[in-house]
Amino acid sequence: MTVSPAIGAVLLAAGGGSRFAGAGQGHKLTATLRGRPVVEWSLEQLLGAGFDDVVVVTGAVELRLPEGVATLHNPRWAEGQATSLALAIDRARQRDLEAVVVGLADQPFVLADAWRAVAAAPGAIAVATYDGRRGNPVKLDASVWDLLPVEGDTGARVVMGMRPELVTEVACAGSPADIDTLEDLRRWNSPTTSP
């Protein structure tokens, strides 16, 4: 399955990770998960999905990303996730994309297949589900971009709540588990834990 060139992918990586940093361990995205930084796991799966247009929205911490990966720096990252999403949507409009698929950099076990399946799903909004629970990534068609919040710490969830008729759920393999705390990192680094 290939991804339409009219659909872009966005990895949100701008937040401060305060629950992790509060433990005195630096930023969660640069923390080592099974030998590599958390963000590398997430980005590897995204790049493996085959999107022609990929952007990583950065903010609180400088990330070492592979050459050729487009980045957008969000100077307003501390104001919440909506500001990062708004930057990505502005870029998508400038590039005349028809939709974007959005995921989070602190979710290293979201698989390339999930990114592709969500991108291919019909409807204005498509959301990955894992064992029946909604997660990421989420596809947002251009027709819903004006409904998205532009401030605060919310993203598409608020639109999905207001307009459930626009939402298609896509069952996906993998795990939406995120790395928010040092305990999360320790659990996923344990040889006895698998996603």
Which tens digits make up the pLDDT trace of 142-180? Answer: 999 999 998 888 888 999 999 999 999 999 999 999 888
Residue 195 inside a domain? The answer is: no
Tokens 């493996």 found at: 48
**Which has the higher per-residue pLDDT, 68 or 108?**
108
Tokens 């104001």 found at: 79
For residue 22, the enclosing domain spans 7-188
3 state DSSP class of 113: helix
Rounded CA separation 36/178 (Å): 15
Q: How many CA atoms lie within 13 A of 129 on its CB side?
A: 12
Residue 170 inside a domain? The answer is: yes
Residue 57 inside a domain? The answer is: yes
Q: Report, as an integer, the average pLDDT of 118-134.
A: 97
Lowest mean pLDDT among 39-53, 148-162, 179-193: 179-193
Query: Over 70: is that where the pLDDT of 23 sits?
Result: no
Query: Over 70: is that where the pLDDT of 2 sits?
Result: yes
Residue 194 inside a domain? The answer is: no
Residue 193 inside a domain? The answer is: no
Tokens 């590039």 found at: 95
Return the number of other C-beta atoms located less than 10 Å from residue 123's C-beta: 16
Query: Over 60: is that where the pLDDT of 89 sits?
Result: yes
Residue 34 inside a domain? The answer is: yes
Residue 58 inside a domain? The answer is: yes
Amino acid 117: pLDDT = 97
Q: How many domains does the chain have?
A: 1
Q: What is the mean pLDDT of the chain?
A: 91
CATH code, domain with 121: 3.90.550.10
97 phi-psi bin (left φ>0, alpha ψ -120 to 50, beta other): beta
Residue 172 inside a domain? The answer is: yes
* DSSP E strand boundaries for the chain: 7-13, 32-33, 36-37, 53-58, 70-73, 99-104, 125-130, 133-141, 167-171
